[in-house]
Amino acid sequence: MADQPANPEPLKPDQQETLSRGEASGLESESLPQSSLIGMKIGSCKLRRVIGSGGMGTVYEAQQEQPRRRVAIKMMKRGITSRSALRRFEFESQTLARLHHPGIAQVYEAGTHDDGAGGVPYFIMEYIPNALTITDYADEKKLGTRERLQLFAKVCDAIQHGHLKGIVHRDIKPGNVLVDSSGQPKIIDFGVARSTDSDLAITTLQTDVGQLLGTLQYMSPEQCAADSSDIDTRSDIYALGVVLYELLAGRLPYDVRQAAIHEAVRMVREEEPTKLSSIDRHLRGDVETIALKALEKERERRYQSAAALEEDIDRYLAGDPISARRATAWYHLKRFACRHKTVFALTGSFVLLLIAATIVSLILMNNAIQWQKQAMLMRDQAIEGQEQAEQQTTVAKRAQAEAEESRVEALRQAYLANLNAASMGLGDKAADSVHRRLQAARHALGNPPLDEMPFAWRHIAAANDDSAYQVDTGLRRPWALAFNDNGTRLTSYHLRGKSWDSLVWDVSTGEGLADTTDSIHDGRTPGHLLLVLNDHSQSDSLRKVIYDLPSRNVISIIEDGEVHGPSFEFSDDGSRLVAFSNDSSYLTIWDVDSGSIVLRLENPSGQIRRVCLSPDGRLIAAVSQASGYGGSWIELKDVDTGELVAQFGDNSNVPESCFDAAIMSTIRFSPDGAQLVAVEAGGDINLMNVQQAIVDRKVDPKTIRSWPLGNIGISNDAVFDSAGGHLVVSTNDDVIRAWDLDSGEILNTFHGQGGSIRVMLISPDGSTLASAGRDGSIRIWDLSDFRDLSEEMSGRTSWYKDFCLSPDGAQIASGNNLGMIDIRDLRTGELIAQLGSYGTHIIVDMVYSPDGMHLASSLYGGEVWVWNTLTGKRVHVLNHGETSGIPGLAFSPDGSLLAQGGREEGVVVWDTDSGEVRYVLPEPEHTNEHVAFSADGSLLAVLDDMMTANGNVSLWDASTGESIEVDRRNTSNTYQIQSMFMFDPRQNIIASGYSDGMVRIIDPVDDALLLKFQAHQGPVDYLDYSPDGSLLATIGGDNFVRVWNTDDGEELLSFTEEDKKWSSLSFSHDGSMLIAADYEDGLSIWDTRSTGRQSVDRQAMMRLKASLDSMVRTWIQEAEDDAEVVQKLQKESLNRTAEEQAALRNLVLKYLHRR
């Protein structure tokens, strides 16, 4: 330190003392011993010069390095700190640094500096240039009383901030209240006295009596007692009162300049301050009352906070009544007594006698007040408890809501996971596994009704199950099935405990029936309704009984049935029963009525594998297998005589003359007994002529008709229809396949039983198959030659590149290669009408009106033809110049407007009633091919250019044609080429497809991006919302059709087909079908109905149309014109179902179009 300058450089005018001009009287000159520290680093600062020194320490100007700024550093004197004070200093200095208020000089940093003799506390504080003490500032600026009070109110606000942080200043005086050049007061040394114990040390270490007396004038009476533990924020209120007094009167409330220290302390503690009004009469009234209340000797009578003092000043300045009140006579008397105790004691003894009764009253009143306070406290505690309970309830509800959100999300994920697994299982034809996954997915959604399940679930369920209906048996396992004579009812028999019951079903609907009349065949019980059961009449019995299911009666008892295997076979007429032994060495035939043995046959040349009886029970067919060889042969014997009447294969030359060394898994007679079918395990189906075999006694295998079973598993059972022309085989892979026996062609292949098939039965008319699985399920299958709608409508003359569906879902319209519009029945595929005439017109877009009464078609070249869909007549030809592209069409939701894009002059909007142009949108920069109205009809959106990266969707007011400004700054300009868009049917948001394969859902008005996801690897060519807006279907350049959840962009389904190039798609009006058209004139339809249900529905619609046909023909014959027919249709439709209305509309169009 020897190289430090002896004297600090002089202060510049803008570097005046920042902390205390009030201390200036006691400051040492610039040439101080402390100047030896100049140039040293204290903390992060380098000392530049001494600003001043007082009784508590020395103030320096310094330069802080990080951040770089001028600061003031106060170094406390060593003698005023103790070891315990240093520890408290470290703690409380952290609190001081957190004081942030415009009226408090900021303490940036605090610490202790070790100069070799121990730690010396220091504070790094805010440097305030050109600062004056509050009294000097008021005098220099010549402030009036109001301005001085306003300035002082800011000081109170700053002191209140410190008090709220738990810090008492303890040394408030004008020298510690500075005002900067802007008039903002700054409190310095906030809490320094407390953090360093300087307020205690000053009374013991201070040698300058003048400085002590100067400090005592601002100390509260309790401060003068030198007990730091008894000092609180109200001591600062007293000091503020002294400063306020001096600020207003220009002098202090006590004159202790000539008094000794102990006398000065007494004056502060006992003497009343001189009234302000005696100094300046203008200070009489509220101002004097405020100052005197702050200077009360008893701190309970002072303002209880700096905020309360500030509020009273603000009330005075605002002209409002203040809260302070002048001291009462009683208070003055009490103060007098304190000063003159002897005189007052003599006088008071007499007074006390007079007021004794009053004292008792006051005590009682005080008790009442205390009780009231206690009651108020209990009330406040109750209110606080209630508030806490309400807060806890809110927290619990929030936690419950969060838990519910988590539960819902977990269920959603479970649904999606099971749905995806079910979709993957479709390709493996694992019907049972897919069914379980679908049930788990449905359970995750809360098991809603099947018709309320989402599209993706219903589609997978339909693709997994080809049956027309699944009947609900209530988990009761069916053992047998029976059709009634006309095949309209099906009876199922179930074992419940030890008793049997039956259920009856309507075959056309799959619904259960209460009426069981005519539910089974008349006459003798057929074999498929007989069972062999264990005899439980005696506990030790091994006998078996023949049980009649319809009558619930035991027909007869089989004495030795226990030695036979489980495969008992009855003849179709129910007269005979056959089974082979457990060791496969012999077979036994019983008479059903008596239970007696009719025939027992040994088989020494091989083991018996399969047996069956002819329908009349007179012939037995047995499949045998040679020991040690894989081949098998069939022997046909007379039941009455046991004589061999025919043989298929030769057991004398095994295995060369056998069925290709195959094992027969199923053997069955035709209903007339003329044919015998034998199905090889995983091999061929072999059909043999029984009558010819009996004549020849041996059949050449070359004469057996055979065709492959196919890769569908090993056969479980086979049944003939009643005419013997069709054969149905079930396999262990839960596949059912039907053949035409004349041609050997496959008629149907069904999947979806979901469990091993126990029983199969064909209805008497051969149109329906019923099956029962071991899992308890019963399904009804349509055996008709079914072609789904995509097959029915594809490969014709229709050109489905562009198509549209009627709002009621009854029709599908498409252009054909003859320049006309084909309208087909969407339920049957039937061609109803062809609109237009043969020519060279090319139809590029079509759209139905919202009510389905009109169909608008856009021709290449610009014309728009509008057709009446009830009469098939053209009602408008709209033209407004040439088109520059492929013009798109859109009806407004109310059907009053028709917009056409693709025109050179802009988008044209017509009035649909008059055919007049309503307005033309301004000419665009590029082609505008795609147009669409919002769901509420308020907006018309136009894709300005779908072939360039500059293309955007522009918005227009649909009613006026005025442009709606769109903020393009958000998202659109960053996208790739926009290829297609569609409005959400629920709200005015748009889903757009782009060339980069992305789909973005946006709010078109502000161009806000709501959701985006990668839909395809190639461009998005087309998209469509489901009717409820929950799904979005897309076509991509990667040759996939995908279905997405519009809430989160989750992929639900994806489809692809070889040699398909889809161009457009649409959901049906009810959301049950998704239809896509390809460039090769074909349709792909993904339905939520099984193929069996589609077939049943189609046949029902055809029957319905047939029943209504004659009525519609009569209307047309009797009506004079089309309008009269339409009137009859509208009147008749009032009392018809939706299905009947659709059928009537199609019939009317069909016949009026031809007329």
Please give the backbone phi and psi of residue 927, each rounded to the nearest 5 degrees, phi first. Answer: -65, 140
Locate 442 and state its tokens.
């449905």
Locate 29 and state its tokens.
């000159």
Locate 122 and state its tokens.
């220091």
Based on the residue annotation, tell me whether 740 is a catalytic residue of this protein. Answer: no
The verdict on whether omega for the bond into residue 655 sits within 30 degrees of 0, i.e. cis, is: yes
The verdict on whether omega for the bond into residue 67 sits within 30 degrees of 0, i.e. cis, is: yes
Could you give the 3-state DSSP secondary structure of residue 1006? coil
Cα–Cα distance measured from residue 1067 to residue 1069, given in angstroms and rounded to the nearest whole number:
6
Residues 6+ apart with CB under 8 A from 1138: 808
* C-alpha dihedral sign at 304, 307, 313, 315: negative
Cα–Cα distance measured from residue 752 to residue 433, given in angstroms and rounded to the nearest whole number:
10
Could you give the 3-state DSSP secondary structure of residue 23? coil
Contact (Cβ atoms closer than 8 angstroms) between residue 106 and residue 162: no
Phi-psi sector, 724: left (phi>0), alpha (psi -120 to 50), beta: left
Contact (Cβ atoms closer than 8 angstroms) between residue 60 and residue 51: yes
Q: Classify burial at 797, counting beta carbons within 10 Å of its beta carbon; exposed 0-12, middle 13-18, buried 19 or more.
A: middle
Q: How far is CA 585 from CA 581, 588, 600, 604, in A?
A: 6, 11, 11, 7
Residue carrying structure tokens 């509008």: 866
Q: List, in sequence order, the alpha helices (H) in 905-993.
A: none
Contact (Cβ atoms closer than 8 angstroms) between residue 111 and residue 93: yes
Residues 6+ apart with CB under 8 A from 1006: 966, 967, 970
Could you give the 3-state DSSP secondary structure of residue 499? strand
Locate 540 and state its tokens.
């030790």
Residue carrying structure tokens 């003048």: 210
Locate 1103 and state its tokens.
């029957």
Contact (Cβ atoms closer than 8 angstroms) between residue 259 and residue 325: no
Cα–Cα distance measured from residue 1108 to residue 1098, given in angstroms and rounded to the nearest whole number:
15
Q: Considering 114, 115, 171, 1006, which one is annotated as catalytic?
A: 171
Cα–Cα distance measured from residue 696 to residue 694, given in angstroms and rounded to the nearest whole number:
6
Locate 394 and state its tokens.
């809110």
Q: Taking CA 827 as the corner, what is the angle to CA 824 and CA 828, rounded to the nearest 5 degrees?
A: 70
Cα–Cα distance measured from residue 1059 to residue 795, given in angstroms and rounded to the nearest whole number:
14
For 557-574, b where at least 16 C-beta lie within 10 A, e where not — what string? bbeebeebeeebbbbbbb
* C-alpha dihedral sign at 1006, 1010, 1014, 1015: negative
Residues 6+ apart with CB under 8 A from 135: 174, 246, 247, 250
Q: What is the dihedral of CA 681, 686, 692, 694, to 10 degrees?
A: 0
Cα–Cα distance measured from residue 1155 to residue 1140, given in angstroms and rounded to the nearest whole number:
23
Q: List, in sequence order, the alpha helices (H) in 14-129.
A: 83-96
Locate 953 and state its tokens.
């969707």
User: What is the side-by-side order of every strand in the sheet holding 843-848?
Assistant: 843-848, 854-859, 864-868, 874-878
Cα–Cα distance measured from residue 731 to residue 431, given in angstroms and rounded to the nearest whole number:
13
- The single-letter code of the amino acid at 477 is R
Q: How far is CA 684 from CA 633, 670, 709, in A?
A: 14, 18, 5
Active site amino acids: 171
